[in-house]
């Protein structure tokens, strides 16, 4: 379908689908009626979304069928895809871990040596074993890896872990971390031959980075005694210099600042000790920096 639009490959169904569509929505891009279709064209942006199996996305991007794609790093590395990382997206975080039956947990990584390990990620596991000078028999399984030890097929497993609930259900426990992964925006090249696509990609990256920055930031508002301004300015981990406003009470000031989300609860007591009051913490939809 050659219409000049940027072609984005997304996972059709899985743990990254909803978050990827939410990201596009927060970027102001409307994708409608996608549930039963393989290709959907946005009504308000020059982009076509291709809904694919996650394992196929790196190859589609590498071969130029899709211009860009969103997929987990674990898939990229396992497929040894020749792609460029455009942006790490901060969601879909998980770990590829070695897990063992509860009654036979390895105490050190050396205890893995000589074991049978079932996995859907033989390439990543092989690299891990080589890095640790270990020898193990890798048993490649395409799905339901967690049942391999109970069936006697393997001694251990190496699989993606997010919540760990599946391991618990199968009486397995995490042992060693093999690979950390998150969703990544990729392309075959940093630039396309089509200049119009380059402009769309540049704009899309600007929007995505705005959303990611806003997601990790909050808008802080409070009233403070004028005499505490210097100390409070030192306390606030502001991304930019805070905005200072006068109030009807000449002894008071209003302070507005954008701060990293995870810092607020570390500074709230210090702010209150310096007389801050009427403290508000508000979400930010987008932020251009």
- Say yes or no to pLDDT of 1 above 60: no
Percent of the chain at pLDDT above 70?
Answer: 97
- Say yes or no to pLDDT of 247 above 60: yes
Residue extent(s) of CATH 3.40.190.10 domains in the chain = 6-91+183-214, 94-181
Question: What is the length of the chain?
Answer: 289
- Say yes or no to pLDDT of 55 above 80: yes
Token readout for 28 is: 């102001």
pLDDT by residue (tens digit) across 93-143? 989 999 999 888 888 999 999 999 999 999 999 999 999 999 999 999 987
Q: Please state which architecture CATH assigns to domain 217-283.
A: 2-Layer Sandwich (3.30)
- Say yes or no to pLDDT of 33 above 70: no
Classify strands 68-72 and 252-260 as parallel, antiparallel or unpaired: unpaired
- Tell me which residue of 214, 215, 223 sits closest to 278, measured CA to CA: 223
CA distances (Å), origin 114, targets 155, 182, 250: 10, 30, 75
Measure CA 14 to chain center. 14
Spatial distance between the Cα atoms of 100 and 55, rounded to a whole number of angstroms: 26
CATH code linked to domain 6-91+183-214: 3.40.190.10
pLDDT by residue (tens digit) across 171-219? 888 888 999 999 999 999 877 888 899 999 999 999 999 999 888 889 9
Residue extent(s) of CATH 3.30.70.120 domains in the chain = 217-283
The reply to whether CATH 3.40.190.10 applies to domain 94-181 is yes
pTM above 0.85, yes or no: no
């Amino acid at each position: 379908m050659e219409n000049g639009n940027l072609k984005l490959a997304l996972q059709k169904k899985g743990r990254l689908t909803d978050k990827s569509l939410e990201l596009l929505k927060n970027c102001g891009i409307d994708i409608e009626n996608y549930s039963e279709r393989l290709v959907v064209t946005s009504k308000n942006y020059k982009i076509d979304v291709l809904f694919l199996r996650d394992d196929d996305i790196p190859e589609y991007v590498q071969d130029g069928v899709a211009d860009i794609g969103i997929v987990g790093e674990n898939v990229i590395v396992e497929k040894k895809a020749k792609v460029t990382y455009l942006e790490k997206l901060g969601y879909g975080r998980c770990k590829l871990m070695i897990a063992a039956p509860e009654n036979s947990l390895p105490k050190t990584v050396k205890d893995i040596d000589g074991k049978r390990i079932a996995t859907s990620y033989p390439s990543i596991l092989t690299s891990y074993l080589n890095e640790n000078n270990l020898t193990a028999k890798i048993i490649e399984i395409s799905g339901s890896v967690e049942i391999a030890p109970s069936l006697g097929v393997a001694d251990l497993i190496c699989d993606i872990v997010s919540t760990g609930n599946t391991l618990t259900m199968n009486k397995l426990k995490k042992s060693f971390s093999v690979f950390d992964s998150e969703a990544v925006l990729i392309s075959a090249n940093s630039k396309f031959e089509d200049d119009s696509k380059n402009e769309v990609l540049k704009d899309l990256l600007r929007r995505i980075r705005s959303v990611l920055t806003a997601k990790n930031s909050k808008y802080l508002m409070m009233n403070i005694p004028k005499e505490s301004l210097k100390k409070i300015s030192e306390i606030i981990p502001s991304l930019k210099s805070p905005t200072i406003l006068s109030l009807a009470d000449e002894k008071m000031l209003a302070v507005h600042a954008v701060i990293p989300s995870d810092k607020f609860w570390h500074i709230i007591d210090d702010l209150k000790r310096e007389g801050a009051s009427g403290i508000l913490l508000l979400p930010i939809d987008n932020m251009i920096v």
